[in-house]
Structure 1
Amino acid sequence: MPTARVIRVHAFGPPEAMQLDRVELAPPAEGEVLLRQTAMGFNFIDIYQRRGTYPLPSGTGLGHEAAGVIEAVGAGVNGFAPGDRVAYMNAGLGAYADYRNVPAAKLVRVPDSISDEQAAAVIFKGMTAQYLVRHTHAVKPGDTVLVHAAAGGVGQILCSWAKALGAYVIGTAGSPEKCELARRIGCDVAIDYRNGDWVKAVRDATGGRGVRVVYDAVGKDTFLGSLDSAQQFGLVVLYGAASGPAPAIEPELLNKKGCLFLTRPSVFPHNADPDTFRANAKDLFDAVTAGHVKVEIGARFALADVAQAHIAAEARATTGAIVLLP
């Protein structure tokens, strides 16, 4: 069996707290496959976990998604064989590795139309977008939606997919360059939230009415403005906290802001069993193949340089997805 190179956190802290360990892998257990990982995804939750915002046991690996090629299968594995190209998310922490044993129930096949890098870049972020536009609110033609962090990994997918579904899409981003990217991937209007009153700009873009749905992954810095951006009976979807946790509010505020609906969903319950996960992943991969979801990889880092990837992400110095390569 191979000796795996694995990134682990032995103490919470700055990016330098991550260490590259070498681990002797056991043969895949029953229900597992040995995966040679060709590309690994990055998500902002990785930073929260590295910092200790979401505490982990000492020595835990990081990373939620990767793509690669099956090298061997354990007993009881059906439907997969050595040589198959697959991807996963939510297979337990530890995706930052070049080899890994993964439960077969967590795998989905990668179609020939999608590269390993694309699969690693899109599987977690794309599955997040999938439940947001298909389940949390089934986006339909004529909807107006607001997407915060529109130039980010999930934001880009949300914008392009919502546009393909017929929505009028407004995106916010933190610079003119990111706003230009947001327009390029599907936003009808892109607003630089660092330049002026972005809530007023959203209202102006909707004739004063506000949007049907707000997708907010930023949290603290945008949440109250998100409530002010929604139309009467609108929905505010708080699905992340890139700037910190959203402030607590009294339920009565939702009434005062226009009888709003507020939800705090998560990707994992929406993909809790293998059949549901694979059906949702097929929906995502079909959307990518059709060009409805556009995946822009903004930066690539070697696994050994993962600290640089975290530094760049924390500085908001990248646009689009970050991919780690073995």
Structure 2
Amino acid sequence: MSEKVLTQKEIDELFARYEEQPIKQEAKDLLNMQELDIIGEIGNICMGTAATTLSQLLSQRVIIGYPKIIVCQQDEVFGSFSTPYLIIEVQFKEGLNGFNVLVINEEEIAIIADIMMGGNGQVTKPVMITEMELSASTEAMNQMIGSSATAMADLFGIGIDIAPPKATMVEDLLNASHTPLPTDKPVVVARFEITIGDIIKTTFMQITNVDAARDQANYLLMKAGACDAENTEEKASDETVIQNFTQTKAPFDLPNLAGALAIPVDLEFSLGKIRCTAGDLAKLKKGDTLAIPFSSQQIKLLVGGIPVALGELQTHAEETKIKISRLYQKSIK
């Protein structure tokens, strides 16, 4: 089996093969680059929300990068994962059709489970996954997907309901099914770089069926006035992702994706962090002062744990403001 297990470098090469043409040739009649860009934005919003959920569950700072997206056959992407890995799949019941899938590997399962059970995320190798670790990590992934579905409901302005997530642990690459998802069409694969505290930097894979991803993109294009409902309906398949969307009361005349831009987000402000002992904290009392090695000119603004800007703290009369001095690129790590 070891001869067939692919390395992280080989997984990287899967995406490198699509660097110039992210859409596989047989999928070009299903998706175009404009739709793929919008799918990336949808994934960014949803996984940003999921990262916030993971951060709250683990009590760790979680940073998620902007996704790299390709469209390919599912056997190609699943064949690139080194086993064991965990597939968390949800089917949409209401509002959307299709499915959404998260894939994480064995080490990530162990680290997330260890933190959830009160550990520090330091796991020994070889990793041993028991029912306890599997249950804890599955619950984390379930909550991430649930919060992602909520973000999608806000984005599209419709009610969305999902079936109970289905967890599948793939143990043996030789005997693994490389087509575990209920579709024979290409799939949209979004790869996110994720950093959890100072513990791990890894990648999560989010996989969506191509029909659902395409129709999500067209729905937002229609809301933005970039295409009309008639053309969108003609292009939509029998698996139209927005159920009864011609009867939806969501406004379709919002310019520049105003519906997406109206989604509420939590903006966090961070000055920095210092390391101390639990004993130091236990000695604190009212009136004490702490020396910190930071200036008021480096306030960091974060959304879902992702740095978006740097600013300077300013006080005028009784009002405190932050003057933006730098905007981060959305691909910042």
- Greater RCO, CA 8 A, separation 6+: 2
Q: Which structure would you say has the larger Rg?
A: 2
**TM-score interval, smaller chain:** under 0.3
